[in-house]
Copies of this chain bind each other. A is one copy, B any other.
Amino acid sequence: MPRVLGIDIGGTKLALALGGPDGRLEARMRRPMEPTGEARLDLARIVEDARRLVAEAGLVLEEVDVVGVSAPGPLDPARGLVLGPPNLPGWERAAVAETLETALGRPVFLENDANAAALAEWRFGAGAGLSNLVYLTMSTGVGGGIILGGRLYRGVASSAGEVGHAPVEVPGEPCACGLSGCLEAYVGGAAWTRRLRSKAPDSSRMLELAGGRGAITPVHAIAAAREADAFALAEMVRFNEYLARAIVSLAFTLAPQAVILGTIACAAGEELCLAPVRDLVRARTWPVFADDLRIVGAALGERTADYAGICAGLEALQSGA
């Protein structure tokens, strides 16, 4: 059984784990990411962490078959380059795979975090046992990853799965990506936060829960909706409407077995989000699509960080890369 060292690089957190296709973790560690502004220095510290983790597991690096790295996009998986995500200053065209390969002496494969998380949910989470699914991150932004035929589907320039920027309204709200009407402009955490702060009536329970207008986040919208706050409930209806539109398009196009929804949809849960979205999708697709489509929350939660890098490595092994 192959052993993979998984490295999950986030803007704020770093996670390392050792494991394989059975999902058992031999070792894991986490720390704040604390970017220095220079990829070289950040990567040198990650190399130290990796060596320490392998040693603590009683192993030597030669016993690691492959290193899988999950990192924020945009990135070029074929060349192993991170192309300069906004939350990793100094990582413009960082040669992550080559640097780690040289330092660790093992093959390194890089994958964007949404794809890596999709692979993790497919192998070890809500998509286990399925072969065709779409995963949406639903955090600050809306990333996506598509598994088809039991393999990550990449598309041209490995850029497939950007479902967060498919239009759900034309003309639509401006999106951080520069376009408008994107799904992310409606259900992305950053966009929704801005809207909640500007539109919440003074009487909304959200202001109390957040301790002030400027502190409101989607967490407070969800909590206030649970308490039947009228504005928050209306916001959930809007959130679900746009999310359902995107899922309807995915259903007609890909007929997937599952659409797995990440952070915000998971936080909102069955009653406020998943059940109403299922009803909307059923009403707007044909039975052949809705009958066999699971619309579910991601199952791994915080554990995604343990598995994302490992799954990126396993996918590279499986594809014979």
A residues within 8 Å of B by Cβ? 74, 132, 144, 146, 148-149, 151, 153-163, 165-170, 177, 179, 245, 248-250, 252-257, 284-286, 288-289, 292-293
Contact = CB atoms under 8 A, between A and B. Distances in A.
A11 to B, nearest CB: 21
Given A148-B153, A293-B156, A166 B286 contact: no
Contacts of A179: 284-286
A253 B159 contact: no
B167 A249 contact: yes
Contacts of A167: 245, 248-249, 284
Chain multiplicity (copies): 2
Nearest to A258: B156
A256 B156 contact: yes
Contact of A162 (B146, B154, B169, B253): B253
B288 A157 contact: yes
20 contacts: A132-B156, A144-B253, A146-B254, A149-B151, A156-B288, A157-B255, A157-B292, A158-B255, A160-B254, A162-B252, A162-B253, A165-B285, A166-B248, A166-B249, A167-B248, A167-B249, A167-B284, A249-B249, A249-B253, A253-B253
